[in-house]
Amino acid sequence: MRRLLPLLILAALLGACDSGDEDDPAARPAAGAPPPPPPAITRAELGEHLAALQRIADRNGGNRAAGTPGHDASADYVAERLREAGWRVRRQPVPFTVFRLRRASLAVDGRRLRRIRDFQVLSYSGSGSATGTLAGAANGCDQGNFGALGSGEIPLAGRGECFFREKARNAELAGAPALVVVGEVHGRRGVPSGTLGVPGIRIPVVLVSFDALGESGVGSPVRIGVDAVSRSSRTENVIAETPGGSGDRVVMAGGHLDSVAGGPGINDNGSGTAALIEAAEALRADPPGARVRLAFWGAEELGLLGSRHYVRSLDGDQRRRIRAYLNLDMVGSPNPVPELYGDGDAKLARVLRRAARPGGLGTVGAGGSSDHAPFQEAGIPVSGLYTGGPEAGSGGRTRDPCYHLPCDTLRHVNRRVLLRMARATAEALGVLSARHK
C-alpha cells in the first residue's frame, strides 16, 4: 500500500481540469497536517521551461545545436531541474562529428536562390562548387537512377522513399559533381534543414523546394557552391533516475535536447524536454513500483547519435531491465494532431491512449525517425507521443510551419496540447512503474 499511494495521488493530480494557465491552488493545510503533494502539471510551469530554453538560444547564436554553448547551457538547465526534483542525474559524454556551414549558394536558370527561404545545405554535405545542367534522377534511391548521367550534368532527385544519405551516396558513386534534392514544403516560412546522418559524402548536397524551383527543372542550368567543415567534437546525454523504486526493472521516457543549427528548437524539441521535466516533478523521486529513468538526448538532429550511443553502452542485462521506453518529440505543435507511434508496442499504446483521454490519439508510423529507434532495434518495447512537424494538419495547414526553421520559437508552441501530452506522459510512467514493480 505504501507504494500505491503516490500513484493514486499522481492520478488525482493529473486528472484535474485545466481552468486556465494554472490549476486552482490547493487549499491551505490544517495546522499539523502533512505537507501537500507536489502541484499538478500546469501550462505556467511548462511555459517556464520553454522560456528558459528560448533565452538560452537567444544568448547563444539563436540555436541549441549539439556541440554548441547553447546545448551545453540546455543540459545544465535540465540537470539542475531534475536534481531539484530529487532525481539522480548523470551526464554521459557522446563523441560525434560537428558540421559547420560557412557559406552556400545556389542559382538555377540564372536566379540566385536564398538559403533557408528557398534551399538548405544538408548537414555533412561535402564542400565544393559545381556548374552544369539539371538531369532527372527519379527518387535517387537506386544506383540505376543515375545510370544515364552525362558529363556536365547535376542530378535532380525527388525527396522521400529513402534517406538523404542513400541518394547522395548513389549520386557520388555515379560520378555526379553535386546533388540537388527537390521536395514539397508545407507553408511559406522556408525549407526545413536535414542531414546526411554522418560525414563521408564528398560532393555538395542541397535540398530545394518546388516553389523555389518554379518552372525550372531538367535541362536548366545550375550553379552550386558549398563551403563547410566537419570536425570531431563532443556533446552529452543527460540521464536522470529516481533513487526510489522496487526491484531491478526500469521504465524509461526520453526526448532529444538539441535543436537544429538553424533555429532555437522550442517545439522541436523543447516541448518534449519541458514535458519530461514536469513529469519528473509530478512523479517525484519515489515511484510506485519500478524505477523511472528519463533521458535528454544529444545530437538527435544529426542522426540519433545520443540515443544510439546510450543503447550501445548497455550490456545485455541492462537492456533487459528496461521494460518500456516512451519517446516525446514535438509535442506542442501549433496546429497539432496528437498521435502515438503506430509501429510501437501495442500494450504501451493502450497505456498512452488511456492516459491521453479525453480526445483520443491518432497513429503515426514514426519508423526510425526519432530516439525510440535504437531501443526498438535492441528489442525494448517502445511507443511515443507526437503532435506534428511538416505534415499537413487541420484545414490542410502545416502542423508546424516552423519545423527546423528560425521561427521555431516560444510564441509558436501550443501550450494546451503540450499540457495534455505532459500529463499523459506522467500518468503513463506511473502506471508502467506500478505494473513492473
Give the residues across from 224 on adjacent strands: 106, 130
284 and 194 share a domain? Answer: no
DSSP 147: T
- What Rg do the C-alpha atoms of the chain give, in angstroms? 23
Diameter over CA atoms, the chain: 86
pLDDT band at 6 (very low <50, low <70, confident <90, very high): very low
DSSP 259: B
Q: What is the DSSP string of 61-86?
A: TT--BTTSHHHHHHHHHHHHHHHHTT
Residue whose entry in the numeric block shows the C-alpha cell 522513399: 161
Query: Over 90: is that where the pLDDT of 187 sits?
Result: no
Distance of CA 116 to CAs 106, 212, 343, Å? 11, 11, 32
CA-based nearest residue to 403, from 415, 414, 416, 388: 388
Whole-number Å distance between alpha carbons of 401 and 352? 26
Query: What average pLDDT does this structure show over 371-375?
Result: 97
pLDDT digits (tens, 9 = 90+) for 7-42: 433 444 444 434 333 333 333 344 444 444 445 899
CA-based end-to-end distance of the chain:
13
pLDDT digits (tens, 9 = 90+) for 48-70: 999 999 999 999 999 999 999 99
Q: Which three cell numbers stand for residue 268?
A: 522541436
pLDDT digits (tens, 9 = 90+) for 259-276: 999 999 999 999 999 999
Domain count, the chain: 2
Residue whose entry in the numeric block shows the C-alpha cell 490549476: 23
55 and 128 share a domain? Answer: no
268 and 411 share a domain? Answer: yes
Which of the pair, 17 or 252, is modelled with greater confidence? 252
Query: Over 90: is that where the pLDDT of 102 sits?
Result: yes
pLDDT digits (tens, 9 = 90+) for 189-217: 889 888 998 899 999 999 999 999 999 99
pLDDT digits (tens, 9 = 90+) for 397-413: 999 999 999 999 999 99
218 and 355 share a domain? Answer: no
According to the model, what pLDDT value does residue 36 have?
45
25 domain-assigned: no
CATH number of the domain bearing residue 168: 3.50.30.30
pLDDT digits (tens, 9 = 90+) for 148-183: 999 999 999 999 899 999 999 999 999 999 999 998
Query: Over 60: is that where the pLDDT of 432 sits?
Result: yes
Which amino acid makes up residue 117?
A: R
189 and 278 share a domain? Answer: no
146 and 183 share a domain? Answer: yes
CA-based nearest residue to 166, from 119, 208, 200: 200
Contacts of 169 (CB under 8 A, 6+ apart): 201
pLDDT digits (tens, 9 = 90+) for 272-326: 999 999 999 999 999 999 999 999 999 999 989 999 999 999 999 999 999 999 9
Percent of the chain with pLDDT over 90: 82
171 and 83 share a domain? Answer: no
Give the residues across from 52 on adjacent strands: none
CA-based nearest residue to 270, from 386, 385, 409: 409
Mean residue pLDDT of the chain comes to 90
Contacts of 27 (CB under 8 A, 6+ apart): none
Which amino acid makes up residue 108?
A: V
Whole-number Å distance between alpha carbons of 409 and 406? 7
According to the model, what pLDDT value does residue 186 have?
56
Give the residues across from 238 on adjacent strands: 91, 296
12 and 41 share a domain? Answer: yes
Which of the pair, 296 or 390, is modelled with greater confidence? 296
29 domain-assigned: no
- Contact between 177 and 133 under an 8 Å Cβ cutoff? The reply is no
126 and 196 share a domain? Answer: yes
Query: Over 90: is that where the pLDDT of 358 sits?
Result: no
170 and 246 share a domain? Answer: no
**Which domain does 321 fall in, by range?**
4-19+37-87+242-435
383 domain-assigned: yes
CATH number of the domain bearing residue 248: 3.40.630.10
According to the model, what pLDDT value does residue 437 have?
85
The catalytic residue positions are 300
